[in-house]
Amino acid sequence: MGDGEMAAQALLPPTQFGVASYWETADPALMFDTIQNGSLESGMPGFGEGQNSNPLSETQIWDVIAALTELPSLNQPIPTAAVQGQVTNQTTGEVVTEGTVFLQAFTADFEEGLRLEQPLTADGRFNFALQDVPPQWVYRVIIRTADGLEFGSEFGQLSPNQPTLELALGTYAPTQDAAVLAIAQLDVFVEFSPAAVSVSELYLLDNRSNAVFVGETGDFTEGTVQINVPEGAQNVSFWRGLGTSAADFVPADEQMRPLSATTWAFARPVSAGEAVLQLVVRYDLPYNRQATISHPAPYPIGQANLFVPQGAVAVDGTAGEWQPTTSLVPNFEQYQRPSLLAGQSLAISLSGHPAWVTDSDGNLLPNRDAQQELWLGLGALGLALGAAVYTVYHWRTSPPPLHPRDALLQALAALDAAHEQHPLPKRAHEQQRQTLKRELLAVWED
Ligand code: HEM
């Protein structure tokens, strides 16, 4: 509380770390600097190397900062609080007066701490009155509209100083018009194994309307966005990108519905906006000195990139559409082709004997993990996409402290960074990643 014995000697009142409001603007780097070097103007001594006869190491300083975040006074429950707001239809600008609103609270460990529901009032408002809630929880509201669609708000926090949280919640009108969909970018990654070529196609999808696309039948469970694979594709699997900064993809097979042997459909509504969906489809094709990756573009494709392992094989675009370009991804050659219209075929002919292959254990590539490289590659690429700008902008404008999504994405990135510096046993690393990803999925907004 900044009221210890030495406080009287300071020129300014020492900072109070035991009040929650401090943490709303706390800057760990500045804290580190102040503890290390002290502050002459305010009369705080330095505790770092060269500043003190019994200095703290850098690790010890970080430990001190971590300990400050757990002061008991910070855990006092907030006696009375409220989460409230009004729901507007972003398509029409009108206030929404029908629907059920759910309040969800997550604990610091990303467990669901609370779930309440109430109907919208006649003036389109919701107001959840809360008592004795822990201060570290994060909240969001979700509305289920009369047409069965769900929309979520950003996350927010309560504090003893600000016990009322206003959360904006918007809905969108549904549209059944598939012409609102466009593929801003398609990235095709190719890998070889002894008798097959594995293809990963990353679709970055825009919904260029101000309405949520619910599929052409109007029932999103029957399918919204369609994805095509070549005839004879085997081991088809789907993944969804969760933001670009941590470059992470989670299995999405359960969100896909087969429509035919070569067409699948995403069985979720697609919200309005740019880069609203990142879908990866992976499949294998037999490869014996040659293979053709060919299927129609389901929607217009703005830009298409192809990534082939360096020195592996020759790429013959029909009529030379695929042009080599400077590669954004290490160890891959990159090709580009002009935009495609919906229905136009994506034709990639690969030929030749791959310079190297990956067997199922990765034996032919000591010290290299092709799968991991692929995800790293996808991630590096994701960063280069406009999606990165969009996502980062979006996160910047949402409240900075402890957004569970961001915190989890950061945790994933930190885990990978730590693994790079001091490799954890592969199994342990993977296990920790899976746990984080499960938690991430639980809080990811659709
Ligand atoms: C466990 C020991 C201490 C730690 C970890 C610590 C940490 C910090 C940190 C991180 C800040 C910067 C806060 C911010 O601006 O965000 C700060 C500010 C300050 N500290 Fe300390 N400090 C300690 C001991 C002391 C002592 C012994 C004194 C006084 C004798 C002192 C006096 C101050 C003062 C006056 C400020 C500046 C307040 C202001 O500029 O508004 N601190 N301290």
Pairing between β-strand 249-251 and β-strand 212-213 as defined by DSSP bridges: unpaired
CA distance 21 to 325: 51
- Kindly state whether residue 403 falls inside one of the protein's structural domains: no
Residue 30 Cβ inside 6 Å of ligand 1? The answer reads yes
Residue 65 Cβ inside 6 Å of ligand 1? The answer reads no
Q: Please say if the pLDDT value at position 444 is more than 70.
A: no
Residue 9 Cβ inside 6 Å of ligand 1? The answer reads yes
Residue 39 Cβ inside 6 Å of ligand 1? The answer reads yes
Could you tell me which residues are beta bridge partners of residue 1? Answer: none
CA nearest to 103, candidates 59, 22, 158, 175: 158
Average pLDDT, the chain: 83
Residue 418 Cβ inside 6 Å of ligand 1? The answer reads no
Pairing between β-strand 181-193 and β-strand 301-309 as defined by DSSP bridges: parallel
Ligand 1 pocket test, pick from 1, 34, 54 with the greatest ligand atom count within 8 Å of Cβ, gives 34
Q: Two tokens at 180?
A: 């609102």
- pLDDT at position 406 is 64
Residue 71 Cβ inside 6 Å of ligand 1? The answer reads no
- Kindly state whether residue 327 falls inside one of the protein's structural domains: yes
Q: Residues 16, 158: one domain?
A: no
Q: Residues 329, 392: one domain?
A: yes
Cα dihedral 62, 70, 394, 100 in deg (nearest 10) = 160
Q: Over range 49-55, report the average pLDDT.
A: 92
Q: How far is the CA of 34 from the centre of ligand 1 (A)?
A: 7
Q: Residues 59, 83: one domain?
A: no
- Kindly state whether residue 417 falls inside one of the protein's structural domains: no
Give per-residue pLDDT as tens, 270-287. 999 998 999 999 999 998
Residue 292 Cβ inside 6 Å of ligand 1? The answer reads no
Q: How far is the CA of 17 from the centre of ligand 1 (A)?
A: 9
CA distance 360 to 384: 30
Which of 74, 91, 118 is where one domain is finished?
A: 74
Q: Residues 70, 82: one domain?
A: no
Ligand 1 pocket test, pick from 3, 39, 62 with the greatest ligand atom count within 8 Å of Cβ, gives 39
Q: How far is the CA of 410 from the centre of ligand 1 (A)?
A: 28
Q: How far is the CA of 57 from the centre of ligand 1 (A)?
A: 17
Please give the number of the atom of ligand 1 that sits closest to the Cα of 25.
16
Model confidence, pTM: 0.67
Ligand 1 pocket test, pick from 3, 6, 15 with the greatest ligand atom count within 8 Å of Cβ, gives 15
Identify the residue whose C-alpha is closest to ligand 1 atom 12: 31
Domains identified in the chain, total number: 3
Q: Residues 30, 147: one domain?
A: no
CA distance 401 to 394: 14
SS3 state of residue 1? coil
- Kindly state whether residue 348 falls inside one of the protein's structural domains: yes
Q: How far is the CA of 407 from the centre of ligand 1 (A)?
A: 27
CATH number of the domain bearing residue 154: 2.60.40.10
| Contact in structure between 180 and 209 (CB atoms under 8 Å) | yes
Sequence-distant (6+) residues with CB within 8 A of 206 are: 181, 182, 183, 184, 273, 274, 275, 276
Q: Residues 101, 157: one domain?
A: yes
Q: Residues 319, 362: one domain?
A: yes
C-alpha distances out from residue 90 to 25, 94, 170, Å: 31, 8, 6
CA nearest to 235, candidates 360, 332, 329, 344: 360
CA distance 203 to 182: 10
| Contact in structure between 362 and 342 (CB atoms under 8 Å) | no
Sequence-distant (6+) residues with CB within 8 A of 233 are: 199, 262, 283, 284, 285
Instruction: Find where tokens 């502050």 sit.
Output: 39
Identify the residue whose C-alpha is closest to ligand 1 atom 6: 35
Q: How far is the CA of 14 from the centre of ligand 1 (A)?
A: 5
Q: How far is the CA of 396 from the centre of ligand 1 (A)?
A: 28
Least confident of 82-96, 137-151, 215-229, 305-319: 305-319
CA distance 315 to 334: 10
Q: Comparing 66 with 396, which gets the higher pLDDT?
A: 66
Cα angle for residues 132, 134, 135 (degrees, 5° grid): 115
- Kindly state whether residue 421 falls inside one of the protein's structural domains: no
- pLDDT at position 63 is 92
CA nearest to 224, candidates 205, 244, 249: 205
Q: Please say if the pLDDT value at position 3 is more than 70.
A: yes
Which of 74, 89, 109 is where one domain is finished?
A: 74
- Kindly state whether residue 440 falls inside one of the protein's structural domains: no
- Kindly state whether residue 330 falls inside one of the protein's structural domains: yes
Please give the number of the atom of ligand 1 that sits closest to the Cα of 68.
5
Which of 51, 74, 97 is where one domain is finished?
A: 74
Q: Two tokens at 273?
A: 């906006």
Range of the domain at 89: 76-171
Please give the number of the atom of ligand 1 that sits closest to the Cα of 6.
30
Where residue 112 falls among pLDDT bands split at 50, 70, 90?
confident
Handedness of CA 266, 211, 205, 110 (dihedral sign): negative
Give per-residue pLDDT as tens, 225-266. 999 999 999 999 999 887 654 456 788 999 999 999 999 999
Q: Please say if the pLDDT value at position 188 is more than 70.
A: yes
Q: Residues 149, 62: one domain?
A: no
- pLDDT at position 442 is 67
**DSSP, res 72:** G
Identify the residue whose C-alpha is closest to ligand 1 atom 36: 14
| Contact in structure between 299 and 245 (CB atoms under 8 Å) | no
Least confident of 172-181, 213-222, 316-325, 372-381: 372-381
CA distance 219 to 233: 28
- Kindly state whether residue 10 falls inside one of the protein's structural domains: yes
Q: How far is the CA of 136 from the centre of ligand 1 (A)?
A: 23
Q: Residues 339, 305: one domain?
A: yes
Q: Residues 21, 119: one domain?
A: no
**DSSP, res 320:** G
Q: Residues 309, 293: one domain?
A: yes
Q: Two tokens at 43?
A: 């009369």
Q: Residues 158, 299: one domain?
A: no
CA distance 206 to 276: 6
CATH number of the domain bearing residue 238: 2.60.40
Q: Please say if the pLDDT value at position 21 is more than 60.
A: yes
Where residue 433 falls among pLDDT bands split at 50, 70, 90?
confident
Least confident of 154-168, 250-264, 301-315: 301-315
- pLDDT at position 354 is 73
Residue 34 Cβ inside 6 Å of ligand 1? The answer reads yes
Q: How far is the CA of 25 from the centre of ligand 1 (A)?
A: 15
